Homo-oligomer: A and B are copies of this chain.
Amino acid sequence: MSDPITALAAAGLAPVTDPDVLAAHSQDHAGLVPPGAALALVRARATEDVSAVLRIVSEYGVPVVPQGARTGLAGAATAVDGAVLLDLSGMDRILSIDPVDRLAVCQPGVLNAAVSAAAAEHGLRYSPDPGSWQISTVGGNIATAAGGMCCVKYGTTPEYVLGLEVVLASGEVMRCGRRTAKGVAGYDLVRLFCGSEGTLGVVTEATLKLSPIPAQRLTLAAVFATTADAGRAVTAIMASGAQPSLLELIDNTHLRALEDLRPMGLPTEAAALLLVCADADPAAELAAIEGLCEAAGATEVYRATDAAEADALLQSRRDAYHAMEKLGTVLVDDVAVPRARLAEALDGVQAAAERHGVLIGVIAHAGDGNLHPNIIVHPEDPASLAAGKAAFDEILAMALAMGGTITGEHGVGLLKRDWLERELDPVNLAVQRRLKHALDPLGILNPGKVIAH
C-alpha cells in the first residue's frame, strides 16, 4: 500500500480524515499552543488497535500523537503536522478491583473519577486528584504524571501506578511493573513511562494502587492580610511536623473572581486564603494548625462546621480557574519552589504582573510550593498576548532562580519544551535524548514533545 491512511483502513482501524473532526481533536487545554495539521484520527478500542497503528506509522515514518481526554495544560496532546491522532478515550473499561491487594486494573481511557467511584464501593479510593479528575483519563494522568490537591500528604500519580501494559513504537506489546505491593525485578520502567507524555510508548492498561478512604476529614480556612503572613503560616505548618491532607492557597485576584462568579462570602479584601484539611486525627491536627495560622498573623480562622460547608470551600478552590476564565483567556502557569519561598514567589508573580501590565491571579498547592499563576490575556490583542507571555517566561525564570522547577505537575509538552533546556544540565538533557532514541529510534512517538530532537 502506498500511503498510511490506506494501510490504516486496510487494517480495519477506520481512520477519520474529516477536517472538522481533525480540527476538533487537534488541541488539548493548552489553548495558546498552535496545533499542527493532523493526517488522520484513529479511535482505538483495544491494545491490538494501538499495536496495529504503531506498526503502520513506524512503517511509513509518520508521527503519532496519543490522546486521552485532551485536558492537559502543556500541549502534550496537541497535533503535530502529518500525525495520526490516536484517541484512547474509547478504551474505558475498569477490568478489575481487588480490595485485599488494594488495586484496580483499567484501560487508559477510564476517567479518574470513574476509578474512584468503583473503588469507593470497597471503601477505597484512587488518591491522585488533578483538578481535571472528573474529566481527565487515567492514561492522560499517567502520561503527564499528574498531581493534584492530595499531593502534600499523598503524593502524585506515579506513586499510584504499580504496573503498565505499554505498546512500543514498533507495535510490540510489553508489560512492566507488578501487581504486588513491592517488587524490584529490573529497571523501573513504570516510572520511566509515567510523565513521558506519550513520547516513549503508549499505555494501554494500568494497574493502580488504591488506598483506604480516611474515616474523617476536617477543614479550616484562614484569612491573611499579606502574602508574607500566609507564606509564614505555610512554613510554620510544614516545619511543625503537621501532615495536612490538603494545604491550598487562593490569592486576592482569585477570591474576587470567585465572588463575582458566585457570591459565597469569601474575604475579597484578603491577600490570601489558606484552605487546610486534616484526616488522621483531624480535630487535634487542625487545632495545632489553627494556632500556627494565628501566630503567623491570620486575621480570621474558621472551621467548616459540617461536610457541606467544607465541600463548598474546596469547591471554590476547584472553581478558581473557571472564575478567571470570565476575565479573558487564561494562560496557566505551573511552577514549584521550595516551600519556604512561597511568599517570595507570590510577590514575584505580582511584580511580573505589574511590570508587564497583565492580570495574574495565583492559586497554589501551597504545601508543595506549587504555584499556578493564571495569566489573563486577550489573544485578539497582540500586545496583551505578548505581555502575558513575557510574564509567563519571567515566572519560569523566577522559579529556576529560586531553586525550583518550570513545571510542578502539568508537564513540559510543547509549552515549556524550550525551558526544559534551562532547567536541566546538558549531561542530563543528553541522557534524556539517549533514552528517547533507545525507545523511539524513528522519532515517531509524539515528536517534539518534552525534548527537542
Q: Does A10 contact B (CB under 8 A)?
A: no
Instruction: Check if A427 is an interface residue, CB within 8 A of chain B.
Output: yes
| Residue contact B187 to A192, C-beta cutoff 8 Å | yes
> Given A100-B238, A412-B186, do A181 and B151 touch, yes or no (CB 8 Å)?
yes
Contacts of A429 in B (CB 8 A): 186
Does A71 lie at the interface of the complex (its beta carbon under 8 Å from any beta carbon of B)? no
- A241 touches which of B144, B212, B435 (Cβ 8 Å): B212
Q: Which of A87-95, A250-258, A304-312, A336-344 binds B? A: A336-344
Inter-subunit contact A405/B339 (CB<8 Å):
no
Interface hit among A106-114, A171-179, A353-361: A171-179
| Copies of this protein chain in the complex | 2
Could you tell me the distance in whole angstroms from the C-beta of A404 to the nearest C-beta in chain B?
Answer: 5
Q: Do the beta carbons of B100 and A184 come within 8 Å of each other?
A: no
Partner of A176, one of B337, B406, B428: B428
Least Cβ distance of A203 to chain B in Å?
14
Q: Are A405 and B178 in contact (CB under 8 A)?
A: yes
Cβ-defined contact, A181 with B123, below 8 A: no
Q: Is A195 an interface residue (CB 8 A)?
A: yes
- Of the listed stretches A16-24, A37-45, A365-373, A377-385, name the one at the interface; the rest are far from the partner chain: A365-373
- List which A135-181 residues lie within 8 A (CB) of chain B: 144-145, 147, 151-152, 155-156, 158-159, 168, 172-176, 178-181
Residues of B within 8 A of A450 (CB): 186-187
Would B178 and A123 count as touching, CB distance under 8 A?
A: no
A425 (CB) vs chain B CBs: closest residue: B175
* Known interface pairs A174-B428, A241-B212, A425-B175; A181-B159 also in contact (CB < 8 Å): no
- A105 and B344 CA atoms in complex are apart in Å by 23
Residues of A320-369 whose CB lies within 8 A of B? 336-340, 365, 367-369
Q: Which residues of B contact A425 (CB under 8 A)?
A: 174-175
Query: A84 at the A/B interface (Cβ < 8 Å)?
Result: no
Q: Can you name 17 A-B pairs with beta carbons within 8 Å?
A: A98-B340, A151-B181, A151-B182, A168-B427, A174-B427, A174-B431, A176-B428, A180-B337, A180-B369, A184-B408, A184-B412, A186-B451, A188-B195, A189-B432, A191-B192, A192-B435, A213-B241
Give chain A's interface residues, CB within 8 Å of chain B.
98-102, 123-124, 144-145, 147, 151-152, 155-156, 158-159, 168, 172-176, 178-189, 191-192, 194-196, 200, 212-213, 235, 238-239, 241-243, 280-281, 336-340, 365, 367-370, 403-412, 416, 420, 423-425, 427-429, 431-432, 434-439, 450-451
